[in-house]
Amino acid sequence: MTRMTNANDAGSAVSGAGSNGGRNLSDAAIVARVDAGTLSTVIDALSALVTECRLEFDDDGLSVIATDPAVVASVSVDLAAGAFETYDGANGTFGLDVERLGTIVGLADRDRPVTLAVDAGTRHLHVGIGELRYEMGLLDPETIRSPPDPTELRFEYGGGAVLPSATVDRFVGATDLVANHLSIALADEALRIEADGDVDAVSLEFEATDLQAFTPGEARSLYSLEYLRDMSRAIPGDAAVDLRIGTETPISLGFEIADGDGSVEYVLSPRIARE
């Protein structure tokens, strides 16, 4: 097994050595370096929906689109080359065990740089954090569920609002007390959330003037709380969430990451209400 051993690696090139046989990674397909906090945010965003995904690297940076097993929700992540400390990228598609990489990156402080080097030949991802080298097997992208075509994820939304992530946490947490789905609607000058249980009911009304932005429109749909709960947990605490909805259409929840050098968008299909 190849091991990465040069503890002094501080730049973009990870060179192999060590008693068990080395392998020069100058022929690694991709070498990139990014702070652990940004990488964790990306991993958390993906983990809300999937356990494995396809990483797409090109000259512009990293992008991932993935759909949950039930094909009810999707997540799109873009991380521009500018979000990386160094980005020495070639084109390539690799299959990633998302949870495994999350555990490794979790060993690092959030502001610590993490070096990622993809060895396309051995299909391994080399993760370097300070004196730590982790060699992780990659998955065959062909064995991973195909992501949707991005054009299929563009919907006509009736309107929307921009709100703090804490507000999303709040309406998800409150409606979760009574039901496993909730309705999100745009009223004249307010965003309105409702959930009905067998006995109890919850509603929350956020006035347009209390929101960071508000686009009125015709919109009311029912969504699964389970998905929204997982998504809300993955949204960073300081994010402004761009929420877009229509009537019986998907909802889109978007937010910036990496100080604007990256973005995440969740799209969740509506549930059909039984009247």
Q: Please give the residue ranges that form the binding site for a copy of itself (CB under 8 A).
A: 1, 3-8, 18-20, 100, 103-104, 107, 131-137, 170, 173-174, 177, 185, 187, 190, 192, 194, 196, 199-207, 210
Q: Least distance in Å: CB of 192 to a copy of itself?
A: 8
* Cα–Cα distance measured from residue 263 to residue 80, given in angstroms and rounded to the nearest whole number: 9
C-beta of 71 vs 132, nearer to a copy of itself: 132
Cα separation, 171 vs 101, in Å, equals: 31
Q: What's the min distance (Å) between Cβ of 4 and a copy of itself?
A: 7
Minimum gap (Å) between residue 218 Cβ and a copy of itself: 13
- Residue 220 and residue 273: Cα distance in Å, rounded? 11
In terms of CB distance, is 202 or 253 closer to a copy of itself?
202
Q: Which is nearer to a copy of itself, 198 or 238 (CB)?
A: 198
Looking at the Cβ atoms of 18 and 260, the one nearer to a copy of itself is 18
Nearest distance in Å: CB 187, a copy of itself: 8
Minimum CB separation of residue 168 from a copy of itself in Å reads: 13
* Axis crossing angle, helix 225-234 with helix 165-175, rounded to the nearest 10: 150
Shortest distance (Å) from residue 201 CB to a copy of itself: 4
Nearer to a copy of itself, 137 or 150 (CB): 137
* 3-state secondary structure labels for all residues of 199-222: CCEEEEEEEHHHCCEEECCCCEEE
Rounded to whole angstroms, the Cα distance separating 268 from 184 reads 12
CA distance 151 to 23: 41
Cβ proximity to a copy of itself, 14 vs 75, nearer residue = 14
Answer yes or no: are the C-beta atoms of 86 and 12 closer than 8 Å: yes
**C-alpha to C-alpha distance for 196 and 179, rounded to whole angstroms:** 6
Strand (E) or helix (H) holding 137? strand 132-137
Residue 171 CB, nearest approach to a copy of itself (Å): 8
Between helix 36-47 and helix 225-234 the angle, nearest 10°, is 180
Give the residue ranges of DSSP H helices in 81-201: 98-105, 165-175
Task: For a copy of itself, give the closer residue by CB, 31 or 163.
Answer: 163
